[in-house]
Each structure stands twice: as C-alpha cells, then as structure tokens.
C-alpha cells in the first residue's frame, strides 16, 4: 500500500509537487464548475470562472488556516462567492447575465446558514469522498476493496460480508480500517 505522511492540503502548503496541484484540480475543478453552472444566466462562462476560482485557490492556499471542521469547505465556498460577485460587478451592464437571479443565487450561496450553502457542504463532501475513493482504490487489492465496499459503503453487516467472501469477520473490519485510514491520510482537511 502506498502511504502518505501528510494530507494533500498540507503538501500544497508546504512543498507541493506538480502532481499535488493536478490532484487539487482533479478533485475540485468539476465541483466548482458544477456549482458555477447553476448561476442563472452564466452559461458557458462558468468554466472560465471555475478556472479563475482555482487560480485564486492556488494563490491563496498558503495563507489558509484551518480553524474548525469544515473551514476549508467554507473557505472554498467563500472564494467562489467572492469571484462571482467580482464577475457580477464587472459584467453588470451585460444583458446576458440575469442580474436579479444571479444576485439572489450568490447571496443564498454566501449565507452560511442558508439552504444553498448547506447543499454546497453536502455536495462538497460527497464529491470529494468519491474522488478520494477513486484515488486510493489502486492502493488496495480487489478482495480488500470488495470487503470495504460491501461493509463500509453498502452497509452490510461484517458477518454477512465475511460469509459471502469466505473470510473472517476480522478481515472485513481490518479492510475497512485500512482503507479509511488511507482516505484520512489523503483527505486531511479537505474532508471532515
């Protein structure tokens, strides 16, 4: 199994390699693009703005300080909202952008207690978790992954998984623990 001593976020702040920046882009660009695609009237410009958010993220990441669980996720949402507001101000006279609808969306996303911000939180975690699963999957054999998938992801009882796969219950529990440990190593502060 490939081990990682520090999380991606820590590597990006300390001594990033090109692969770390690629990983950040692989994980976050689709999520940011998807959310920007929901802004009324933004259309195809969502992709460009997503790239701009990622550039800001790269530039500002060394100054990011984790203050509590979810602070990276909230910070990323705030960076996205601020970029949207800047864009909105720059393009205020453009008829293509539905200003009232865009403003309402941006304000709703900016409110940390609002429904849209809560949806951002849930989707962030779901999206990042799926990306991290894909990243760490190659670190484990097929049998270990199958035990983890059935026990941890599908929620089957450990005894049932063990019986299905003709392994011990302890093997099933250990498979889950090993993969979760690897996920935590990779995720670090990206996922609470």
pLDDT for position 151: 96
pLDDT for position 99: 64
- For the record, the structure tokens of 113 come out as 């207690």
Q: What is the rounded CA–CA span in Å between residue 192 and residue 91?
A: 36
161 is a domain residue: no
pLDDT for position 192: 52
pLDDT for position 3: 35
Give the N- to C-terminal CA distance of the chain in Å, as an integer.
23
85 is a domain residue: yes
pLDDT for position 155: 94
166 is a domain residue: no
> Cβ distance 7 to 190 under 8 Å?
yes
57 is a domain residue: yes
The range of the structural domain enclosing residue 77 comes to 8-137
pLDDT for position 72: 82
pLDDT for position 14: 76
> Cβ distance 147 to 178 under 8 Å?
no
What distance lies between CA 9 and its chain's CA centroid? 12
pLDDT for position 1: 34
181 is a domain residue: no
178 is a domain residue: no
Q: What is the rounded CA–CA span in Å between residue 37 and residue 49?
A: 10
- For the record, the structure tokens of 53 come out as 């958010």
> Cβ distance 73 to 121 under 8 Å?
yes
- Write out the chain's pLDDT in tens, 192 residues: 333 334 777 777 777 788 888 888 888 899 999 999 888 878 888 889 999 998 888 888 877 777 766 678 888 899 999 998 888 877 765 555 556 777 888 888 888 888 888 898 889 888 988 988 998 999 999 999 999 999 999 999 999 999 999 999 999 999 999 999 998 888 776 655
Q: What is the rounded CA–CA span in Å between residue 76 and residue 61?
A: 10
154 is a domain residue: no
54 is a domain residue: yes
Q: How many domains does the chain have?
A: 1
């Amino acid at each position: 199994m490939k081990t990682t001593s520090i999380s991606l976020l820590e590597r990006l702040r300390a001594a990033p390699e090109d692969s770390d920046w690629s990983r950040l882009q692989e994980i976050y660009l689709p999520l940011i693009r998807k959310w920007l695609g929901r802004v009324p009237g933004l259309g195809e410009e969502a992709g460009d703005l997503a790239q701009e958010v990622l550039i800001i993220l790269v530039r500002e990441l060394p100054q990011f300080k984790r203050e509590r669980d979810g602070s990276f996720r909230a910070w990323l949402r705030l960076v996205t909202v601020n970029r949207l507001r800047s864009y909105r101000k720059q393009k205020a006279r453009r008829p293509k952008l539905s200003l009232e609808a865009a403003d309402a969306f941006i304000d709703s996303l900016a409110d940390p207690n609002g429904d849209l911000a809560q949806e951002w939180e849930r989707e962030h975690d779901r999206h990042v978790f799926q990306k991290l699963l894909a990243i760490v999957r190659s670190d484990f054999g097929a049998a270990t992954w199958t035990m983890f998938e059935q026990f941890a992801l599908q929620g089957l009882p450990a005894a049932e998984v063990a019986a299905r796969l003709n392994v011990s219950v302890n093997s099933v529990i250990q498979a889950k623990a090993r993969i979760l440990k690897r996920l935590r190593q990779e995720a670090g502060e990206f996922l609470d």
